[in-house]
Amino acid sequence: MTINIKAIKLHALNMTLNHPFSTSFGTVKDREFYIVEVIDQNGHHGFGESVAFATPWYTEETAQTCFHMMRDFLIPLLQAHPIDHPDDLVALFSPIKKNHMAKAAIEGAIWDLYAKTNNIPLYQALGGNKKTIDVGISIGIQPSIDDLIYRIEQSVQAGYKRVKLKIKPGHDMQVLHSVRQHFPDLPLLADANSAYTLKDIDHLKQLDDFNLMMIEQPLGHDDIIDHATLQKNIHTSICLDESIHSFDDVRHAIQLGSCRVINIKIGRVGGLTEAKRIHDYCRDHHIPIWCGGMLEAGIGRAHNIALTTLPNFTLPGDTAGSAHYWQKDIITPPVVVNDGEITVSDTPGIGYEIDWKALEQFSEYTHTFKF
């Protein structure tokens, strides 16, 4: 059955986070991104979200490279070649190298449309089976230890299943020591966003004192080899984030012993179809996975929830509730976390309605592509 697309709209949005989010590489306060709206001949609407940031600090993509790729390459490919299933997009987009977040934004909208056309929730279309998902929270670098302890305390009270905090050289062992004094048993992980090198190996061995669930992306953003050396020298499990862009990256990392855990972000790996392949490979190799976050608005968040219902997402991810990020989200209802759990919506597609008034409020302009 062909997916009969009538039009694609790209809504350019700007939203401001409740709290500036700081990592080893800088601070994000304003989110600039695109909502992809795919409309078919039957009047169904599918939605996707581009998750790249305004600047290329996390990966090489930006909101504007996503727009360029979607407008000038990906949408024209779709206009020229109708597809039958969202999985077909991998092959269709393969002449365009990388640009995973641009591809994932369109693919996400088509997955939503596909699920709605079949009158099933997106999570079922993906093969997920959970009624609720467990979630954690990621806390950025704070102005002081007291601020950090306060934010962790709030997160624990809100019931989040685990807390992730950010470390960097000069802001690591001391911070973890203080946090552990206040929260000796809290499920905790640290994310370095690639701030260290192998020269820090003796320093990083001290991480083993803090009973962390894992250390996320300690070394280079594009490294898989050095992480294998580090993993052999520390007890704490390494989780890769930035280094993982594809199924093959995961295969290489697992074969080399570069990590024991994988953080999957739909945008970083180029979409839900690739994320599912990675999920299955990790399941077969007994590598636990969790769903990372990109400070998404509601559409991206809804996709993360749907993906997390797949069975090998055994660790709580970074999908916190809408209110943690936004005064007002662009979906209704917003994503709500109770006792560290999100109840998975059973309505067709992503399971949330667009709040059109909010979308309008945050929209700068809309580009329409006719098919």
Q: Which residues bind ligand OSB (CB under 6 A)?
A: 21, 58, 138, 191, 193, 241, 292-295, 318, 320
- Which of the listed partners (ligand OSB, Mg ion, none) does 274 bind, with a CB threshold of 5 to 8 Å by partner kind? none
- Which of the listed partners (ligand OSB, Mg ion, none) does 58 bind, with a CB threshold of 5 to 8 Å by partner kind? ligand OSB
- Which of the listed partners (ligand OSB, Mg ion, none) does 138 bind, with a CB threshold of 5 to 8 Å by partner kind? ligand OSB
- Check residue 241 for interaction with Mg ion (CB under 5 A): yes
What count of other Cβ atoms lies within 10 Å of the Cβ of residue 246?
16
Residue closer to Mg ion, measured from CB, 246 or 332: 246
To the nearest 10°, the Cα dihedral for 85, 88, 93, 97?
Answer: 130
What is the rounded CA–CA span in Å between residue 333 and residue 218? 36
Binding residue count for Mg ion, defined by CB under 5 A:
3
Catalytic status, residue 161? no
- Check residue 40 for interaction with Mg ion (CB under 5 A): no
Positions 193 through 232 that interact with Mg ion (CB under 5 A): 216
Residue closer to ligand OSB, measured from CB, 25 or 73: 25
Measured at CB, which residue is nearest to ligand OSB? 293
Catalytic status, residue 265? yes
Residue closer to ligand OSB, measured from CB, 48 or 348: 48
What is the rounded CA–CA span in Å between residue 260 and residue 160? 23
What is the rounded CA–CA span in Å between residue 128 and residue 306? 7
**Minimum CB distance to ligand OSB, residue 252 (Å):** 20
- Which of the listed partners (Mg ion, ligand OSB, none) does 295 bind, with a CB threshold of 5 to 8 Å by partner kind? ligand OSB
Cβ within 8 Å of residue 128, ≥6 positions away? 306, 307, 308, 309, 310, 311, 344
Residue closer to Mg ion, measured from CB, 241 or 274: 241
**Minimum CB distance to ligand OSB, residue 51 (Å):** 9
Which amino acid is present at 308?
A: T
Residue closer to Mg ion, measured from CB, 32 or 216: 216
What is the rounded CA–CA span in Å between residue 14 and residue 40? 26
- Which of the listed partners (ligand OSB, Mg ion, none) does 32 bind, with a CB threshold of 5 to 8 Å by partner kind? none
**Minimum CB distance to ligand OSB, residue 79 (Å):** 32
Positions 57 through 96 that interact with Mg ion (CB under 5 A): none
Identify the active-site residue in 166, 168, 199, 370: 166
**Minimum CB distance to Mg ion, residue 366 (Å):** 32
Identify the active-site residue in 103, 116, 164, 265: 265
Stretch that binds Mg ion, among 186-194, 252-260, 294-302, 309-317 (CB under 5 A): 186-194
Residue closer to Mg ion, measured from CB, 113 or 238: 238
**Minimum CB distance to ligand OSB, residue 244 (Å):** 12
**Minimum CB distance to Mg ion, residue 46 (Å):** 28
Residue closer to ligand OSB, measured from CB, 59 or 231: 59
What is the rounded CA–CA span in Å between residue 104 and residue 96? 13
- Check residue 191 for interaction with Mg ion (CB under 5 A): yes
**Minimum CB distance to ligand OSB, residue 57 (Å):** 8
Catalytic residues: 166, 265
Residues forming the site for Mg ion (CB under 5 A) = 191, 216, 241
